[in-house]
């Protein structure tokens, strides 16, 4: 393989400067400011700040509301990641077998990919609304009273359902591409060795999809933690009250609504540490079980 070489070391550094500047301005600077603010009690009107050490962190550790949000975030992330991956994999396997009308079938499954999270949340409101929602009326006919925005778990079900629905097309595209990349000769050999379609999937197809699945696992955890903000904000209509909240949404509520900038910064630092731990675990332990060749 021919390797690219630069005549002078200054030229590659010059090419890297714009990207490094963007990372420094939009990540390291805000992250550093959040770490600094987490040790201060900020005046909400900007008239000053008082150094309080780790008080903001100890307050978080003893806050029942924060611990409740952390517990809900764990449940929310686990369910959204698992069902978004499982349903997308099932649909991709079925779509891979479709011969007639394959493009139409795939387009119908992928169109949700173009829907923005707040729009997905608005569609969720229309489906789960207490008085006019189609799903609410369907549940009412079955004798189930559903109250979005009032009942804690009813609201949680709507958040999880809409978040799963929004993420399925992304996973579907990657899984379908992974399935179509499996060589035809491998499939034919597998059909000769094992006539059972279920056994062929778990023994041959699923291991070959492991790199794609590992990549999607990381993407889906990140999506569940950070990219569902628009969906949650739309479903709780900006008035969280006693409704469930993820940790990211609590940072917004405490920081911008409650004007607790020090506590909100401490929450942001906790999230950064959480993401760092997840990244290390994923790449140090899970990736070792993935074979790319």
Show the tokens assigned to 132.
Answer: 């006019």
Structure tokens at 29: 């600077």
Instruction: Determine how many CB atoms are found less than 10 A away from the CB of residue 69.
Output: 24
Q: What tokens appear for 38 in the block? A: 């987490």
CA 175 – CA 84 distance, rounded (Å): 12
Residues 6+ positions from 152 with CB-CB distance below 8 Å: 242, 243, 244
In sequence order, what are the beta bridge partners of 49?
A: 42
Shortest CA distance to 56 belongs to which of 262, 272, 273, 274? Answer: 262
Q: How many Cβ atoms sit within 10 Å of the Cβ of residue 84?
A: 26
Burial class (CB in 10 A: 0-12, 13-18, 19+), 151: middle
Q: In which element (H, E) is residue 51 found?
A: strand 49-51
CA angle in degrees (0–180, nearest 5) for 12-17-21:
160
Q: What is the pLDDT of residue 86?
A: 94
Average pLDDT, the chain: 84
Residue 48 has what DSSP assignment? -
**138-192 pLDDT tens trace:** 888 888 888 887 888 888 999 999 999 989 988 988 888 888 888 888 877 877 7
pLDDT at 52: 87
Residues in a beta bridge with 40: 51
**CA–CA distance, 212 with 290 (Å, rounded to integer):** 10
What sign has the CA pseudo-torsion 131, 135, 141, 146? negative
First and final C-alpha spacing in the chain = 19
pLDDT at 53: 87
Residue with tokens 């795939």: 106
For residue 127, the SS3 value is helix
- pTM, 2 dp: 0.82
What tokens appear for 142 in the block?
Answer: 């079955």
Around Cβ 287, how many Cβ atoms within 10 Å? 13
Q: Please, what are the averages of pLDDT over each run of 10 residues along the chain (293 residues)?
A: 69 87 90 89 78 89 89 94 93 78 70 78 85 86 85 90 90 87 80 78 84 87 88 78 85 86 90 86 67 55
Half-sphere exposure (CA, 13 Å, Cβ side) for 66? 18
Tokens linked to 280:
């290390």
Quickly count: other Cβ atoms within 10 Å of residue 215's Cβ. Answer: 13
């Amino acid at each position: 393989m021919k390797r690219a070489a630069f005549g002078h070391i200054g030229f590659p550094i010059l090419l890297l400067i714009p990207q490094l500047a963007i990372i420094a301005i939009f990540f390291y600077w805000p992250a550093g400011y959040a770490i600094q603010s987490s040790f201060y009690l900020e005046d909400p009107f900007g008239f000053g700040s008082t150094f309080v050490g780790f008080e903001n962190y100890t307050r978080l550790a003893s806050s029942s509301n924060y611990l409740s949000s952390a517990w809900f975030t764990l449940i929310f992330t686990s369910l959204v990641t698992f069902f978004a991956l499982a349903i997308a994999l099932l649909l991709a396997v079925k779509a891979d077998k479709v011969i007639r009308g394959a493009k139409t079938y795939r387009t119908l499954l992928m169109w949700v990919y173009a829907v923005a999270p707040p729009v997905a949340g608005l569609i969720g409101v229309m489906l789960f609304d207490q008085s006019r929602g189609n799903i609410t009326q369907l549940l009412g006919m079955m004798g189930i009273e559903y109250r979005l925005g009032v009942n804690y778990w009813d609201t949680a079900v709507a958040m999880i359902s809409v978040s799963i629905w929004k993420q399925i097309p992304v996973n579907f595209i990657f899984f379908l591409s992974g399935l179509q990349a499996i060589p035809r000769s491998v499939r034919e050999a597998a059909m000769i060795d094992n006539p059972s379609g279920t056994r062929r999937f778990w023994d041959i197809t699923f291991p070959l999809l492991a790199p794609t699945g590992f990549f999607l696992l990381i993407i889906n955890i990140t999506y569940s933690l950070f990219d569902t903000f628009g969906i949650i904000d739309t479903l709780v209509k900006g008035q969280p009250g006693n409704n469930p909240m993820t940790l990211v949404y609590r940072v917004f509520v405490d920081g911008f609504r409650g004007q607790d900038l020090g506590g909100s910064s401490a929450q942001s630092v906790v999230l950064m540490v959480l993401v760092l731990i997840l990244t290390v675990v994923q790449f140090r332990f899970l990736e070792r079980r993935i074979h790319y060749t």
